[in-house]
Amino acid sequence: MFYFRCRKTGREYDIKEPRWQSEDGGLLDIIREKPLQSLDLQGDRPGLWKYRNAIPLEKDENILSFGEEKTPLIPFQYAGRDIWAKLEYFFVTGSFKDRGAAVLISKIKELGIERVVEDSSGNAGGSIAAYCAAAGIGCDIYVSEQASPAKLTQIAAYGARIHKIPGSRTNVTKAVMEAAKKQFYASHYWNPFFFEGTKTLAFELWEQLKGNVPDTLVLQAGHGTLIIGAWKGFTELKEAGLINKIPRIIAVQPVMCSPLYNRFYSVTDAQECVSGKTITEGIDIADPPRLDQLCDILKETGGGVIRVEDASVVKAMISAARKGLYIEPAAASVFAAVEQLQTKPDEKVVVTLTGHGLKATHRFQELL
Amino acid sequence: MFYFRCRKTGREYDIKEPRWQSEDGGLLDIIREKPLQSLDLQGDRPGLWKYRNAIPLEKDENILSFGEEKTPLIPFQYAGRDIWAKLEYFFVTGSFKDRGAAVLISKIKELGIERVVEDSSGNAGGSIAAYCAAAGIGCDIYVSEQASPAKLTQIAAYGARIHKIPGSRTNVTKAVMEAAKKQFYASHYWNPFFFEGTKTLAFELWEQLKGNVPDTLVLQAGHGTLIIGAWKGFTELKEAGLINKIPRIIAVQPVMCSPLYNRFYSVTDAQECVSGKTITEGIDIADPPRLDQLCDILKETGGGVIRVEDASVVKAMISAARKGLYIEPAAASVFAAVEQLQTKPDEKVVVTLTGHGLKATHRFQELL
């Protein structure tokens, strides 16, 4: 019912293979043999497993879950505009990355793999480590030296082995690629099972909006796992005839590191992106491998990229906290983007708040 | 339909008065004129406001909510025993205290009060500050110098004024009592509206267990706000004829500071309780004013008190994290208690995990 397809060559692979890239080193997509027919809501399963019939996992016994319900969607005012905030940090680790990790690690459990490697600026590492802990799977997490102390401590507590790599985020990527030659790579951006988890964001929004979809989604873009997931989920809903349009997707990147912006708008004289210079660490990725895919999605949905300055992110962090939402910098970046967003009257805008403020205590300590 | 009653004199007060203690300085209970008849589940309201008809708030327009759904209830094994863990940190601030704060601050908004004071070892302060931020109510939070850095930073981010009081937790109490002469005291243990929030724990468990109740509830006891709430909720369910027994309630306290244990078992040669000597800061309360009430509840339900050593709490923190649950020391104390708990075969035991591990990063850093 599902198979892998290489984005580079189009070559197909059995979904049962323990595989995170193609034999040609290409990125993989997961393709449904026939479109989703319906979304059977299984109300007795909590959270994203409610959409079990849309998720490519063979056996129920491999389902990993901490019992989370759907994340809150609340009306919120920012910069004088009425928008909706989806509190995507309502997961066991405090980050939306759990959506992807829940499905990816369940699949890795199904494959019988006993130890994995992963690289992360902090949140993905925490999510992979937590689900590996729940599954009894060992893991090695490669992180940059700049990762937040709260995130590093959390990853270590789950029992993961942490490898701190000096220098830029690119060095971390190199180190994990080397490690991935020996151990299975539970990558949140290479392995497409991760998007089978993040796509449930779309299903939840559809359910919470009672069968409607937002006009515009404003989403953080580092590796773009939330964008790919959201697009995939809405596409499946459309194929199933449950909705008739896919929301416009606006990606948010830091001015200091905005490779998607540069690619999407064909900025030829852009400075080289270097990570480690912005406070929005979760989206501080200089060379995300799925850039082309992300550009295709933005184009298809009529979206674009908004770049935000750290100063406006800081303003958003404080401003959100003063209304009761304590969120980390990358999460707050969407509010900074809303200030620049052009909308039509009555447009329904949803932003995702991706990580809890408790993950960025050191940042708030610097600010307050 | 509701009124206040003084626990000292029995004197009654109108529920509409802005009041947190009686004129005789006594503790107040909120009494229903007639028992709850039914629990009208209002599925379109998320989280605890689903039980709106059981909560004494006059107008819907005063409801404060971050849209949280019910907290997860998951099977968990600890020390070889099969129990259930209720993940009570699935609230916007990362602590169960939001249950109480949601109702208390909604009521304070209804009363038209514009500024409050509160004292806290950290979590209650965070919850009160977050809900005050959402309501546009100013607040002053009195905390001990030993409060965790992550919690203090969080409280400050919400815009609350923090007053750090040197010395023991008792000094904090003195300072806030003085402040409460001038500003309304949004106390999580004096003001009984707080328990109108924590009682929803019982409603959720009843719903999650499909109309059944646990045999035994193992709950943290500092000021005992969760115990009073749980007992109240189950009592209301029983009065409504929805259940026929109230779970046995086991309170958990640190060996270093266990006033409830001393009172309940009439320990005459107990050392004086001094706070600040245990890592379980959330339940490190030397002189909780509602001790008698807590003893009555434990007696009525056939429960008791279990004391835990810091060493066994540390073991529980690490052990839980190694299975994917990252929780703060006071939260982990219930696992340490389960090791000592005497149960009958097939007894259904539920423990509450009250605070996220991200609130105790410094503790995990010390341990790892």
pLDDT digits (tens, 9 = 90+) for A115-174: 999 999 899 999 999 999 999 999 999 998 888 999 999 999 999 999 999 987 788 999
Task: Tell me whether B75 touches chain A (CB under 8 Å).
Answer: no
Say whether residue A358 is in contact with chain B using an 8 A CB cutoff: yes
Cα distance between residue B102 and residue A138, in whole Å = 40
The pLDDT assigned to A147 comes to 87
Mean pLDDT (chain A) is: 96
- B282/chain A closest Cα distance in angstroms: 17
**Cβ of residue B318 closer than 8 Å to a chain A Cβ:** yes
B68, B326, B359 member nearest A158 (Cβ): B326
Tell me the two tokens of residue A52: 């079990």
What mean pLDDT comes out for the span B253-274? 92
Per-residue pLDDT at A3 exceeds 90: yes
Minimal CA separation from A156 to chain B, in Å: 7
Would the pTM count as exceeding 0.95? Answer: yes
Name every chain B residue with its beta carbon within 8 A of the beta carbon of A361.
Answer: 149-150, 153-154, 358, 361
Q: What percent of chain B has pLDDT over 70?
A: 100
Residue A39 pLDDT > 90:
no
Across the range A48-61, mean pLDDT stands at 95
Which of A233, A240, A277 is CA-nearest to residue A255?
A277
Confidence band for A274, pLDDT divided at 50, 70 and 90: confident
Residues B210-225, mean pLDDT to the nearest whole number? 97
pLDDT for the residue numbered A252: 98
% chain A with pLDDT above 70: 100
Give the tens place of pLDDT for each residue, B186-203: 999 999 999 999 999 999
Q: Do A321 and B131 touch (CB under 8 A)?
A: no
In this complex, the residue of B317, B322, B364 whose CB is nearest that of residue A133 is B322
Q: What pLDDT shows up at residue B121?
A: 83
CB spacing of A67 vs B72 below 8 angstroms: yes
The identity of residue A291, as a single letter, is L
Q: How confident is the model at residue A40 (pLDDT cuts 50, 70, 90)?
A: confident
**Burial grade of B346 (CB within 10 A; 0-12, 13-18, 19 or more):** exposed
What integer is the mean pLDDT of B325-350? 97
Mean pLDDT of B223-231: 98
State yes or no: pLDDT of B42 exceeds 80: no
The yes/no answer to whether this complex scores an ipTM above 0.95 is: yes
At residue B106, the pLDDT reads 98
Distances (CA, A) of B279 to A321, B148, B247, B253, B330: 28, 10, 28, 12, 8
Q: CB-based contact (8 Å) between B319 and chain A?
A: no
| pLDDT for res B45 | 85
Q: What is the pLDDT of residue A339?
A: 97
